[in-house]
Structure 1
Protein backbone atom coordinates (compact mmCIF):
# COMPACT_ATOMS: atom_id res chain seq x y z
CA UNK A 1 0.00 0.00 0.00
CA UNK A 2 1.28 3.49 -0.81
CA UNK A 3 2.55 5.50 2.12
CA UNK A 4 0.62 8.76 2.37
CA UNK A 5 1.33 12.01 4.19
CA UNK A 6 -2.37 12.88 4.34
CA UNK A 7 -2.27 13.68 8.05
CA UNK A 8 0.58 16.17 7.62
CA UNK A 9 0.12 18.10 4.38
CA UNK A 10 3.30 19.92 3.40
CA UNK A 11 3.86 23.40 2.02
CA UNK A 12 6.32 23.55 -0.87
CA UNK A 13 7.64 26.92 -2.01
CA UNK A 14 8.91 28.04 -5.42
CA UNK A 15 11.94 30.02 -4.25
CA UNK A 16 14.40 29.68 -7.15
CA UNK A 17 13.04 32.44 -9.38
CA UNK A 18 15.16 35.37 -10.50
CA UNK A 19 12.99 36.90 -13.24
CA UNK A 20 9.81 36.65 -11.16
CA UNK A 21 9.29 38.12 -7.70
CA UNK A 22 6.25 38.40 -5.43
CA UNK A 23 7.09 41.78 -3.95
CA UNK A 24 4.22 42.49 -1.54
CA UNK A 25 0.70 41.43 -0.62
CA UNK A 26 -2.29 42.83 1.26
CA UNK A 27 -5.90 44.00 1.02
CA UNK A 28 -6.72 41.33 -1.54
CA UNK A 29 -3.95 42.35 -3.94
CA UNK A 30 -0.43 41.26 -4.84
CA UNK A 31 2.43 43.21 -6.40
CA UNK A 32 4.64 41.13 -8.68
CA UNK A 33 7.70 41.69 -10.85
CA UNK A 34 7.60 39.82 -14.13
CA UNK A 35 11.00 40.46 -15.65
CA UNK A 36 11.28 44.22 -16.17
CA UNK A 37 7.59 44.94 -15.55
CA UNK A 38 5.63 45.23 -12.29
CA UNK A 39 1.98 44.20 -12.15
CA UNK A 40 -0.65 44.42 -9.40
CA UNK A 41 -3.38 41.78 -9.46
CA UNK A 42 -6.18 40.64 -7.14
CA UNK A 43 -5.88 37.39 -5.22
CA UNK A 44 -8.75 35.95 -3.15
CA UNK A 45 -6.34 34.29 -0.68
CA UNK A 46 -4.91 37.60 0.51
CA UNK A 47 -7.19 38.41 3.45
CA UNK A 48 -4.55 40.24 5.50
CA UNK A 49 -3.96 44.03 5.40
CA UNK A 50 -1.00 45.88 3.96
CA UNK A 51 1.10 46.91 6.93
CA UNK A 52 1.89 50.58 7.26
CA UNK A 53 -0.47 51.61 4.47
CA UNK A 54 -3.92 53.14 4.43
CA UNK A 55 -6.45 50.47 3.41
CA UNK A 56 -7.04 50.75 -0.32
CA UNK A 57 -3.89 52.77 -0.97
CA UNK A 58 -2.03 51.74 -4.11
CA UNK A 59 1.54 50.56 -4.37
CA UNK A 60 4.08 52.79 -6.04
CA UNK A 61 6.05 51.79 -9.10
CA UNK A 62 3.56 49.54 -10.87
CA UNK A 63 3.25 49.31 -14.64
CA UNK A 64 -0.07 47.48 -14.85
CA UNK A 65 -2.96 47.30 -12.36
CA UNK A 66 -5.87 44.88 -12.77
CA UNK A 67 -9.24 46.21 -11.59
CA UNK A 68 -11.97 43.69 -10.86
CA UNK A 69 -15.48 44.45 -12.06
CA UNK A 70 -18.50 43.88 -9.84
CA UNK A 71 -20.14 42.24 -12.84
CA UNK A 72 -17.26 39.75 -13.14
CA UNK A 73 -14.00 39.92 -15.01
CA UNK A 74 -12.18 43.23 -15.03
CA UNK A 75 -9.68 45.29 -16.96
CA UNK A 76 -6.07 46.43 -16.88
CA UNK A 77 -4.96 49.99 -16.19
CA UNK A 78 -1.49 50.80 -17.50
CA UNK A 79 0.61 53.57 -16.02
CA UNK A 80 3.01 53.41 -18.95
CA UNK A 81 2.91 51.60 -22.28
CA UNK A 82 3.84 47.92 -22.05
CA UNK A 83 4.69 45.52 -24.85
CA UNK A 84 1.87 43.17 -25.80
CA UNK A 85 4.03 40.35 -24.47
CA UNK A 86 7.55 39.76 -23.17
CA UNK A 87 9.63 36.86 -21.88
CA UNK A 88 11.05 35.75 -18.56
CA UNK A 89 13.59 33.03 -17.80
CA UNK A 90 13.55 30.24 -15.26
CA UNK A 91 17.29 29.87 -15.01
CA UNK A 92 17.36 26.78 -12.80
CA UNK A 93 15.96 24.61 -15.62
CA UNK A 94 17.04 26.82 -18.56
CA UNK A 95 13.45 27.61 -19.59
CA UNK A 96 11.96 30.75 -21.11
CA UNK A 97 8.29 31.71 -21.18
CA UNK A 98 6.10 34.25 -22.92
CA UNK A 99 4.22 36.57 -20.55
CA UNK A 100 1.09 38.36 -21.72
CA UNK A 101 -1.47 40.00 -19.42
CA UNK A 102 -4.91 38.68 -20.36
CA UNK A 103 -8.40 40.06 -19.86
CA UNK A 104 -8.96 37.52 -17.06
CA UNK A 105 -6.02 38.91 -14.99
CA UNK A 106 -3.73 35.98 -15.83
CA UNK A 107 -0.30 36.26 -17.45
CA UNK A 108 0.08 32.83 -19.04
CA UNK A 109 2.24 31.38 -16.26
CA UNK A 110 1.73 30.12 -12.72
CA UNK A 111 5.18 30.72 -11.17
CA UNK A 112 4.44 28.69 -8.03
CA UNK A 113 4.45 25.56 -10.19
CA UNK A 114 8.22 25.87 -10.57
CA UNK A 115 8.60 23.81 -7.40
CA UNK A 116 6.79 20.94 -9.15
CA UNK A 117 8.88 21.38 -12.31
CA UNK A 118 12.00 20.94 -10.19
CA UNK A 119 10.64 17.79 -8.58
CA UNK A 120 9.57 15.92 -11.68
CA UNK A 121 12.56 17.13 -13.73
CA UNK A 122 14.86 15.48 -11.19
CA UNK A 123 12.86 12.24 -11.43
CA UNK A 124 12.93 12.27 -15.23
CA UNK A 125 16.65 13.02 -15.37
CA UNK A 126 17.41 10.20 -12.93
CA UNK A 127 15.38 7.75 -15.02
CA UNK A 128 17.09 8.88 -18.23
CA UNK A 129 20.51 8.57 -16.59
CA UNK A 130 19.60 4.96 -15.79
CA UNK A 131 18.92 4.35 -19.47
CA UNK A 132 15.14 4.52 -19.35
CA UNK A 133 12.87 6.29 -21.82
CA UNK A 134 10.18 8.42 -20.14
CA UNK A 135 6.85 9.42 -21.68
CA UNK A 136 4.73 12.10 -19.98
CA UNK A 137 1.06 12.98 -20.50
CA UNK A 138 0.20 16.55 -19.49
CA UNK A 139 -3.57 17.12 -19.28
CA UNK A 140 -5.18 20.57 -19.05
CA UNK A 141 -1.68 21.67 -20.01
CA UNK A 142 -2.46 25.40 -20.42
CA UNK A 143 0.51 27.28 -21.94
CA UNK A 144 2.84 24.35 -21.47
CA UNK A 145 5.34 25.31 -18.78
CA UNK A 146 5.22 21.79 -17.32
CA UNK A 147 5.44 20.25 -20.78
CA UNK A 148 8.54 22.30 -21.54
CA UNK A 149 10.12 21.37 -18.20
CA UNK A 150 9.48 17.67 -18.78
CA UNK A 151 10.83 17.82 -22.34
CA UNK A 152 13.91 19.74 -21.23
CA UNK A 153 14.57 17.00 -18.66
CA UNK A 154 14.60 14.39 -21.42
CA UNK A 155 11.03 13.07 -21.59
CA UNK A 156 8.77 12.70 -24.60
CA UNK A 157 5.63 14.69 -23.86
CA UNK A 158 2.00 14.72 -24.96
CA UNK A 159 0.52 18.16 -24.20
CA UNK A 160 -3.30 18.29 -24.20
CA UNK A 161 -5.60 21.29 -23.77
CA UNK A 162 -9.07 22.02 -25.11
CA UNK A 163 -8.14 25.61 -26.05
CA UNK A 164 -6.29 25.97 -29.34
CA UNK A 165 -4.78 29.28 -28.22
CA UNK A 166 -3.19 27.65 -25.18
CA UNK A 167 -1.66 24.87 -27.27
CA UNK A 168 -0.24 27.47 -29.66
CA UNK A 169 1.22 29.33 -26.66
CA UNK A 170 2.83 26.07 -25.54
CA UNK A 171 4.53 25.77 -28.94
CA UNK A 172 5.85 29.31 -28.54
CA UNK A 173 7.19 28.56 -25.06
CA UNK A 174 8.88 25.42 -26.37
CA UNK A 175 10.55 27.43 -29.12
CA UNK A 176 11.66 30.10 -26.64
CA UNK A 177 13.21 27.36 -24.51
CA UNK A 178 15.09 25.83 -27.44
CA UNK A 179 12.75 22.85 -27.60
CA UNK A 180 11.44 23.24 -31.17
CA UNK A 181 12.69 19.77 -32.07
CA UNK A 182 11.87 18.14 -28.74
CA UNK A 183 9.46 15.17 -28.84
CA UNK A 184 6.32 17.09 -27.82
CA UNK A 185 2.90 16.20 -29.26
CA UNK A 186 0.52 19.18 -29.25
CA UNK A 187 -3.11 18.10 -28.94
CA UNK A 188 -6.24 20.29 -28.96
CA UNK A 189 -8.91 18.06 -27.45
CA UNK A 190 -11.19 17.34 -24.52
CA UNK A 191 -8.87 15.68 -22.00
CA UNK A 192 -11.17 12.87 -20.94
CA UNK A 193 -12.08 11.94 -24.52
CA UNK A 194 -8.41 12.01 -25.48
CA UNK A 195 -7.47 9.64 -22.64
CA UNK A 196 -10.20 7.22 -23.75
CA UNK A 197 -8.88 7.25 -27.30
CA UNK A 198 -5.31 6.70 -26.10
CA UNK A 199 -6.51 3.67 -24.15
CA UNK A 200 -8.14 2.23 -27.27
CA UNK A 201 -4.97 2.93 -29.26
CA UNK A 202 -2.92 1.07 -26.68
CA UNK A 203 -0.70 4.03 -25.81
CA UNK A 204 0.84 4.10 -22.35
CA UNK A 205 2.63 6.78 -20.36
CA UNK A 206 5.23 6.61 -17.62
CA UNK A 207 4.02 9.77 -15.90
CA UNK A 208 0.89 11.93 -15.83
CA UNK A 209 0.53 15.59 -14.90
CA UNK A 210 -2.85 17.29 -14.65
CA UNK A 211 -4.18 20.69 -13.62
CA UNK A 212 -7.94 20.19 -13.83
CA UNK A 213 -10.14 23.29 -13.59
CA UNK A 214 -13.14 23.65 -11.31
CA UNK A 215 -15.37 24.21 -14.34
CA UNK A 216 -14.61 24.10 -18.02
CA UNK A 217 -15.65 23.17 -21.53
CA UNK A 218 -14.03 20.74 -23.91
CA UNK A 219 -13.00 21.53 -27.48
CA UNK A 220 -16.54 20.79 -28.74
CA UNK A 221 -18.45 22.20 -25.77
CA UNK A 222 -18.32 19.31 -23.30
CA UNK A 223 -18.99 20.45 -19.74
CA UNK A 224 -16.43 19.72 -17.00
CA UNK A 225 -17.22 19.84 -13.29
CA UNK A 226 -14.39 18.91 -10.94
CA UNK A 227 -16.59 17.18 -8.35
CA UNK A 228 -18.34 15.07 -10.99
CA UNK A 229 -15.55 14.27 -13.41
CA UNK A 230 -12.21 14.18 -11.56
CA UNK A 231 -12.48 10.66 -10.16
CA UNK A 232 -13.66 9.08 -13.45
CA UNK A 233 -10.80 10.84 -15.25
CA UNK A 234 -8.28 9.62 -12.69
CA UNK A 235 -9.52 6.06 -13.15
CA UNK A 236 -9.17 6.30 -16.93
CA UNK A 237 -5.70 7.80 -16.55
CA UNK A 238 -4.69 4.83 -14.41
CA UNK A 239 -5.44 2.59 -17.39
CA UNK A 240 -2.99 4.45 -19.65
CA UNK A 241 -0.10 4.23 -17.18
CA UNK A 242 2.77 1.97 -18.15
CA UNK A 243 3.67 -1.14 -16.17
CA UNK A 244 6.43 0.81 -14.37
CA UNK A 245 5.08 4.33 -13.87
CA UNK A 246 7.37 7.02 -12.54
CA UNK A 247 4.98 9.60 -11.06
CA UNK A 248 1.46 11.04 -11.06
CA UNK A 249 0.97 14.74 -10.24
CA UNK A 250 -2.39 16.44 -9.62
CA UNK A 251 -2.64 20.22 -9.13
CA UNK A 252 -5.78 22.14 -8.24
CA UNK A 253 -6.74 25.78 -7.78
CA UNK A 254 -10.02 25.52 -5.92
CA UNK A 255 -11.12 25.66 -2.30
CA UNK A 256 -13.40 22.71 -3.06
CA UNK A 257 -10.47 20.29 -2.81
CA UNK A 258 -8.11 19.93 0.13
CA UNK A 259 -4.65 18.32 -0.02
CA UNK A 260 -5.98 15.45 2.07
CA UNK A 261 -8.75 14.79 -0.45
CA UNK A 262 -6.21 14.68 -3.30
CA UNK A 263 -3.96 12.37 -1.29
CA UNK A 264 -6.92 10.09 -0.57
CA UNK A 265 -7.81 10.00 -4.26
CA UNK A 266 -4.26 9.05 -5.21
CA UNK A 267 -4.11 6.40 -2.48
CA UNK A 268 -7.36 4.89 -3.75
CA UNK A 269 -6.13 5.12 -7.33
CA UNK A 270 -2.56 3.85 -7.02
CA UNK A 271 -2.21 2.39 -3.54
CA UNK A 272 -1.85 -1.15 -4.85
CA UNK A 273 1.30 -0.11 -6.71
CA UNK A 274 3.10 0.88 -3.51
CA UNK A 275 5.21 3.99 -3.83
CA UNK A 276 4.81 7.19 -1.84
CA UNK A 277 2.09 9.83 -1.75
CA UNK A 278 2.57 13.42 -0.61
CA UNK A 279 0.16 16.32 -0.74
CA UNK A 280 -0.01 19.91 0.39
CA UNK A 281 0.01 23.50 -0.79
CA UNK A 282 2.24 25.24 -3.32
CA UNK A 283 3.29 28.77 -2.45
CA UNK A 284 5.41 31.78 -3.30
CA UNK A 285 7.65 33.72 -0.90
CA UNK A 286 6.74 37.37 -0.30
CA UNK A 287 9.79 39.62 -0.50
CA UNK A 288 8.90 42.38 1.94
CA UNK A 289 7.90 40.37 5.00
CA UNK A 290 8.76 36.70 4.49
CA UNK A 291 5.16 35.49 4.29
CA UNK A 292 4.29 32.64 1.96
CA UNK A 293 1.30 33.15 -0.32
CA UNK A 294 -0.55 29.84 -0.81
CA UNK A 295 -1.41 29.48 -4.48
CA UNK A 296 -3.02 26.07 -4.85
CA UNK A 297 -2.74 22.45 -3.81
CA UNK A 298 -0.87 19.46 -5.16
CA UNK A 299 -0.86 15.71 -4.75
CA UNK A 300 2.03 13.49 -5.85
CA UNK A 301 2.38 9.77 -6.24
CA UNK A 302 5.88 8.50 -7.01
CA UNK A 303 7.30 5.04 -7.42
Structure 2
Protein backbone atom coordinates (compact mmCIF):
# COMPACT_ATOMS: atom_id res chain seq x y z
CA UNK A 1 0.00 0.00 0.00
CA UNK A 2 0.98 3.65 -0.25
CA UNK A 3 2.46 5.32 2.79
CA UNK A 4 3.23 8.98 3.48
CA UNK A 5 6.17 9.69 5.75
CA UNK A 6 6.22 11.59 8.03
CA UNK A 7 2.84 10.07 8.72
CA UNK A 8 -0.40 11.70 7.70
CA UNK A 9 -3.28 11.14 10.09
CA UNK A 10 -6.88 12.27 10.23
CA UNK A 11 -7.25 12.90 13.95
CA UNK A 12 -10.92 13.93 14.12
CA UNK A 13 -13.68 15.53 12.07
CA UNK A 14 -17.12 17.03 12.54
CA UNK A 15 -19.10 20.26 12.48
CA UNK A 16 -17.82 20.99 8.98
CA UNK A 17 -14.13 20.75 9.88
CA UNK A 18 -11.27 18.25 9.93
CA UNK A 19 -8.25 17.93 12.21
CA UNK A 20 -5.19 16.46 10.47
CA UNK A 21 -1.55 15.77 11.23
CA UNK A 22 1.00 16.30 8.46
CA UNK A 23 4.36 15.44 9.97
CA UNK A 24 5.09 18.23 12.50
CA UNK A 25 1.86 20.13 11.74
CA UNK A 26 -1.59 19.63 13.25
CA UNK A 27 -4.07 21.60 11.14
CA UNK A 28 -7.72 22.54 11.63
CA UNK A 29 -9.34 23.14 8.23
CA UNK A 30 -12.83 23.30 6.66
CA UNK A 31 -14.35 20.02 5.46
CA UNK A 32 -17.83 20.24 3.87
CA UNK A 33 -18.32 16.48 4.25
CA UNK A 34 -17.62 16.45 8.01
CA UNK A 35 -21.08 15.80 9.41
CA UNK A 36 -21.88 15.11 13.04
CA UNK A 37 -20.04 16.14 16.16
CA UNK A 38 -16.32 16.35 16.84
CA UNK A 39 -15.55 13.32 18.99
CA UNK A 40 -12.27 14.39 20.62
CA UNK A 41 -12.65 18.06 21.60
CA UNK A 42 -9.38 18.13 23.57
CA UNK A 43 -7.38 17.51 20.38
CA UNK A 44 -8.77 20.66 18.81
CA UNK A 45 -7.42 22.92 21.53
CA UNK A 46 -3.74 22.68 20.60
CA UNK A 47 -3.11 22.95 16.87
CA UNK A 48 -0.31 24.34 14.73
CA UNK A 49 -2.73 26.47 12.71
CA UNK A 50 -6.39 26.96 11.81
CA UNK A 51 -7.81 28.06 8.49
CA UNK A 52 -10.92 30.18 8.73
CA UNK A 53 -13.11 30.80 5.71
CA UNK A 54 -14.32 28.64 2.86
CA UNK A 55 -11.80 26.73 0.79
CA UNK A 56 -13.24 28.33 -2.34
CA UNK A 57 -13.25 31.94 -1.17
CA UNK A 58 -10.87 34.19 0.66
CA UNK A 59 -9.84 32.97 4.09
CA UNK A 60 -6.82 33.15 6.34
CA UNK A 61 -4.50 31.06 8.48
CA UNK A 62 -4.13 31.70 12.19
CA UNK A 63 -1.32 32.15 13.03
CA UNK A 64 -0.36 33.88 9.80
CA UNK A 65 1.86 31.89 7.46
CA UNK A 66 4.94 34.00 8.21
CA UNK A 67 4.68 33.05 11.89
CA UNK A 68 4.72 29.28 11.33
CA UNK A 69 7.83 27.69 12.90
CA UNK A 70 8.34 25.70 9.68
CA UNK A 71 7.19 27.37 6.47
CA UNK A 72 7.45 24.15 4.48
CA UNK A 73 7.91 20.42 4.95
CA UNK A 74 9.30 17.82 2.54
CA UNK A 75 6.82 14.98 2.38
CA UNK A 76 8.12 11.64 1.00
CA UNK A 77 5.49 9.46 -0.67
CA UNK A 78 6.59 5.84 -0.90
CA UNK A 79 5.11 3.68 -3.66
CA UNK A 80 5.31 -0.09 -3.94
CA UNK A 81 8.55 -1.73 -4.99
CA UNK A 82 10.63 0.92 -3.25
CA UNK A 83 9.70 3.73 -5.63
CA UNK A 84 9.29 7.16 -4.06
CA UNK A 85 8.73 10.81 -4.79
CA UNK A 86 8.64 13.93 -2.64
CA UNK A 87 6.24 16.83 -2.31
CA UNK A 88 6.92 20.18 -0.71
CA UNK A 89 4.08 21.10 1.61
CA UNK A 90 3.49 24.70 2.61
CA UNK A 91 0.37 26.66 3.62
CA UNK A 92 -1.37 28.35 0.69
CA UNK A 93 -3.81 31.29 0.86
CA UNK A 94 -6.57 28.94 -0.35
CA UNK A 95 -6.29 26.80 2.79
CA UNK A 96 -4.57 23.96 0.95
CA UNK A 97 -1.01 22.87 1.68
CA UNK A 98 0.02 21.18 -1.56
CA UNK A 99 -1.28 17.61 -1.26
CA UNK A 100 -4.65 15.84 -1.09
CA UNK A 101 -4.17 12.73 1.12
CA UNK A 102 -7.43 11.21 -0.13
CA UNK A 103 -5.73 10.72 -3.51
CA UNK A 104 -3.29 8.12 -2.17
CA UNK A 105 -5.39 5.18 -3.33
CA UNK A 106 -5.64 6.73 -6.78
CA UNK A 107 -1.87 7.18 -6.93
CA UNK A 108 -1.50 3.49 -6.18
CA UNK A 109 -3.86 2.70 -9.05
CA UNK A 110 -2.03 5.10 -11.42
CA UNK A 111 1.33 3.52 -10.54
CA UNK A 112 -0.04 0.09 -11.34
CA UNK A 113 -1.54 1.18 -14.66
CA UNK A 114 1.37 3.37 -15.77
CA UNK A 115 3.88 0.60 -15.10
CA UNK A 116 2.36 -1.40 -17.96
CA UNK A 117 4.66 -1.17 -21.01
CA UNK A 118 1.87 -0.06 -23.33
CA UNK A 119 0.86 2.95 -21.21
CA UNK A 120 3.72 5.23 -22.22
CA UNK A 121 2.21 8.70 -22.72
CA UNK A 122 0.03 10.17 -19.97
CA UNK A 123 -1.88 13.47 -20.07
CA UNK A 124 -2.55 14.95 -16.61
CA UNK A 125 -5.09 17.80 -16.75
CA UNK A 126 -5.62 20.15 -13.79
CA UNK A 127 -2.34 18.73 -12.50
CA UNK A 128 -2.04 20.99 -9.41
CA UNK A 129 1.21 20.29 -7.50
CA UNK A 130 1.98 17.11 -9.40
CA UNK A 131 1.14 14.08 -7.26
CA UNK A 132 -0.38 12.14 -10.16
CA UNK A 133 2.30 13.37 -12.57
CA UNK A 134 5.13 12.22 -10.32
CA UNK A 135 3.42 8.89 -9.67
CA UNK A 136 3.18 8.19 -13.40
CA UNK A 137 6.75 9.39 -14.01
CA UNK A 138 8.16 7.19 -11.23
CA UNK A 139 6.31 4.26 -12.82
CA UNK A 140 8.12 4.95 -16.10
CA UNK A 141 5.57 6.95 -18.09
CA UNK A 142 6.10 10.03 -20.25
CA UNK A 143 3.83 12.74 -18.81
CA UNK A 144 2.33 16.03 -19.98
CA UNK A 145 1.31 18.08 -16.93
CA UNK A 146 -1.24 20.86 -17.56
CA UNK A 147 -2.49 23.45 -15.08
CA UNK A 148 -3.80 26.99 -15.57
CA UNK A 149 -1.93 28.36 -12.52
CA UNK A 150 1.70 29.22 -13.15
CA UNK A 151 2.46 28.99 -9.42
CA UNK A 152 1.11 25.45 -9.21
CA UNK A 153 3.14 24.29 -12.21
CA UNK A 154 6.21 25.86 -10.61
CA UNK A 155 5.49 23.93 -7.39
CA UNK A 156 5.01 20.70 -9.34
CA UNK A 157 8.36 21.21 -11.07
CA UNK A 158 9.98 21.85 -7.68
CA UNK A 159 8.45 18.59 -6.43
CA UNK A 160 9.94 16.81 -9.45
CA UNK A 161 13.38 18.23 -8.63
CA UNK A 162 13.03 17.16 -4.98
CA UNK A 163 12.18 13.69 -6.25
CA UNK A 164 15.19 13.37 -8.53
CA UNK A 165 12.91 13.64 -11.57
CA UNK A 166 14.18 16.94 -13.00
CA UNK A 167 15.32 15.12 -16.15
CA UNK A 168 12.30 12.81 -16.38
CA UNK A 169 10.22 13.01 -19.59
CA UNK A 170 7.66 15.50 -18.21
CA UNK A 171 6.28 18.44 -20.19
CA UNK A 172 5.15 21.32 -17.98
CA UNK A 173 2.31 23.34 -19.53
CA UNK A 174 0.69 26.51 -18.11
CA UNK A 175 -2.55 26.67 -20.08
CA UNK A 176 -6.30 26.30 -19.93
CA UNK A 177 -7.06 22.55 -20.12
CA UNK A 178 -9.74 22.83 -22.79
CA UNK A 179 -7.66 25.11 -25.03
CA UNK A 180 -4.64 22.86 -24.66
CA UNK A 181 -6.62 19.78 -25.67
CA UNK A 182 -8.17 21.59 -28.63
CA UNK A 183 -4.71 22.53 -29.85
CA UNK A 184 -3.37 19.02 -29.31
CA UNK A 185 -6.20 17.61 -31.44
CA UNK A 186 -5.32 20.07 -34.23
CA UNK A 187 -1.65 19.12 -33.94
CA UNK A 188 -2.51 15.45 -34.29
CA UNK A 189 -0.91 14.51 -30.98
CA UNK A 190 -2.20 11.47 -29.10
CA UNK A 191 -1.92 9.96 -25.62
CA UNK A 192 -2.25 6.52 -24.08
CA UNK A 193 -3.92 7.65 -20.85
CA UNK A 194 -5.61 10.66 -19.27
CA UNK A 195 -5.88 11.83 -15.64
CA UNK A 196 -8.30 14.65 -14.74
CA UNK A 197 -9.04 16.33 -11.41
CA UNK A 198 -11.22 19.29 -12.45
CA UNK A 199 -12.45 21.96 -10.04
CA UNK A 200 -16.10 22.91 -9.77
CA UNK A 201 -15.34 26.38 -11.13
CA UNK A 202 -12.17 28.07 -12.27
CA UNK A 203 -10.36 30.36 -14.66
CA UNK A 204 -7.59 29.81 -17.15
CA UNK A 205 -4.44 31.96 -17.34
CA UNK A 206 -6.19 34.33 -19.76
CA UNK A 207 -9.46 34.45 -17.85
CA UNK A 208 -11.08 31.48 -19.58
CA UNK A 209 -14.08 30.36 -17.55
CA UNK A 210 -14.56 26.78 -16.36
CA UNK A 211 -17.74 25.19 -15.01
CA UNK A 212 -17.59 21.45 -14.43
CA UNK A 213 -21.24 20.84 -15.29
CA UNK A 214 -20.98 22.79 -18.54
CA UNK A 215 -17.44 21.97 -19.66
CA UNK A 216 -16.52 18.47 -18.41
CA UNK A 217 -18.33 16.46 -21.08
CA UNK A 218 -16.90 18.50 -24.01
CA UNK A 219 -13.43 18.12 -22.47
CA UNK A 220 -13.88 14.37 -22.21
CA UNK A 221 -14.94 14.32 -25.88
CA UNK A 222 -11.59 15.97 -26.68
CA UNK A 223 -9.82 13.34 -24.56
CA UNK A 224 -11.59 10.69 -26.61
CA UNK A 225 -10.01 12.14 -29.76
CA UNK A 226 -6.62 12.45 -28.09
CA UNK A 227 -6.66 8.77 -27.11
CA UNK A 228 -8.20 7.71 -30.46
CA UNK A 229 -11.08 6.14 -28.49
CA UNK A 230 -8.65 3.52 -27.14
CA UNK A 231 -7.26 4.79 -23.82
CA UNK A 232 -5.18 2.37 -21.77
CA UNK A 233 -6.51 3.99 -18.62
CA UNK A 234 -8.48 7.04 -17.52
CA UNK A 235 -8.92 8.48 -14.02
CA UNK A 236 -11.47 11.21 -13.25
CA UNK A 237 -11.82 12.68 -9.76
CA UNK A 238 -13.68 15.68 -8.41
CA UNK A 239 -14.71 17.39 -5.19
CA UNK A 240 -18.00 18.89 -6.42
CA UNK A 241 -20.75 18.12 -3.86
CA UNK A 242 -23.51 17.84 -6.48
CA UNK A 243 -21.58 15.26 -8.55
CA UNK A 244 -21.31 11.79 -7.04
CA UNK A 245 -19.78 8.49 -8.20
CA UNK A 246 -22.71 7.57 -10.46
CA UNK A 247 -22.58 10.94 -12.21
CA UNK A 248 -18.80 10.74 -12.67
CA UNK A 249 -19.13 7.26 -14.14
CA UNK A 250 -21.81 8.53 -16.52
CA UNK A 251 -19.63 11.45 -17.61
CA UNK A 252 -16.75 9.09 -18.33
CA UNK A 253 -18.93 6.59 -20.17
CA UNK A 254 -20.65 9.23 -22.30
CA UNK A 255 -17.49 11.21 -22.99
CA UNK A 256 -15.04 8.44 -23.84
CA UNK A 257 -16.68 5.07 -24.29
CA UNK A 258 -20.37 5.38 -25.14
CA UNK A 259 -23.14 3.46 -23.47
CA UNK A 260 -22.07 0.11 -24.91
CA UNK A 261 -18.62 0.19 -23.37
CA UNK A 262 -17.46 -1.48 -20.17
CA UNK A 263 -18.62 0.78 -17.30
CA UNK A 264 -15.92 2.53 -15.28
CA UNK A 265 -15.43 1.70 -11.63
CA UNK A 266 -16.53 4.55 -9.38
CA UNK A 267 -16.70 5.35 -5.70
CA UNK A 268 -16.09 7.85 -2.94
CA UNK A 269 -12.69 9.00 -1.70
CA UNK A 270 -12.40 8.69 2.08
CA UNK A 271 -10.09 9.75 4.83
CA UNK A 272 -10.29 7.62 7.97
CA UNK A 273 -9.41 8.17 11.62
CA UNK A 274 -7.59 5.52 13.65
CA UNK A 275 -10.94 4.67 15.25
CA UNK A 276 -12.44 3.96 11.82
CA UNK A 277 -14.51 7.10 11.40
CA UNK A 278 -14.76 8.04 7.71
CA UNK A 279 -14.72 11.48 6.10
CA UNK A 280 -16.00 11.63 2.53
CA UNK A 281 -13.51 13.73 0.53
CA UNK A 282 -14.53 13.61 -3.12
CA UNK A 283 -15.35 10.96 -5.70
CA UNK A 284 -13.62 9.04 -8.46
CA UNK A 285 -14.31 7.07 -11.61
CA UNK A 286 -11.66 5.11 -13.47
CA UNK A 287 -11.29 2.72 -16.35
CA UNK A 288 -10.41 -0.09 -16.39
CA UNK A 289 -12.18 -1.03 -13.18
- Structure 1 length normalisation: TM-score? 0.86
**Residue number in structure 2 paired with 1:184:** 170
Deviates more, 1:193-202 or 1:19-28: 19-28
Give the corresponding residue for 2:211.
225
Match of 2:50 in 1: 65
CA contact (8 A) 2:193 2:233 kept: yes
1:96 and 2:99 correspond: no
Match of 1:85 in 2: 72
Deviations 1:21-51 (A, max 9, x none): 1111122221111112211111111121022
Q: How does 1:111-260 map to 2 (within 5 A)?
A: 111-125=101-115, 127-128=116-117, 132=118, 134-242=120-228, 244-260=230-246
Quote the Cα distance in structure 2 between the aligned partners of 1:159 and 1:199: 16
2:15 equivalent among 14, 27, 38: 27
| CA drift at 1:72 | 4.7
Task: Identify the residue that residue 284 of structure 1 maps to in structure 2.
Answer: 271
- 1:176 and 1:61 map into 2 onto residues whose CA distance is 31
State whether residues 12 and 39 of structure 2, in contact with CA within 8 Å, keep that contact through their aligned partners in structure 1: no
SS of 1:116's equivalent in the other structure is helix
8 Å Cα contact 2:59/2:93 also seen in 1: yes
Preserved contact between residue 2 and residue 78 of structure 2 (Cα < 8 Å): no
Q: TM-score by structure 2 length? A: 0.90
Compute the displacement of 1:64 (Å): 1.1
| Cα distance, 1:243–1:58 mapped onto 2, change above 3 Å | closer
Task: Give the number of aligned pairs.
Answer: 281
What is the Cα deviation at residue 242 of structure 1?
4.4
Residue 72 to residue 141, structure 1, CA distance change in 2 (3 Å): closer
Computed over aligned residues only, the root mean square deviation of the Cα atoms, in angstroms, reads 2.2
Structure with the bigger RCO (C-alpha within 8 Å, sep 6+) is 1
Distance in 1 (alpha carbons) for counterparts of 2:227 and 2:2:
31
Cα distance, 1:133 vs. partner? 5.4
Greater shift, 229-238 or 77-86, is seen at: 77-86
Q: Is 1:35–1:87's contact at 8 Å kept on the other side of the alignment?
A: no
Deviation at 1:78, TM superposition (A): 2.9
Distance in 1 (alpha carbons) for counterparts of 2:229 and 2:212: 27
Report SS of the residue matched to 1:51. coil
Distance 2:209 2:242 in 1: 18
Residues 149-199 of structure 1: CA deviation (Å, up to 9, x unaligned) = 010000000000111001001101111111111100000001101001111
Q: Which runs of 5+ in 1 are unaligned?
A: 1-13
C-alpha distance in 2, partners of 1:276/1:115?
20
Deviations 1:265-294 (A, max 9, x none): 22223147844510111111112x211211
Q: Distance in 2 between matches of 1:67 and 1:265?
A: 33
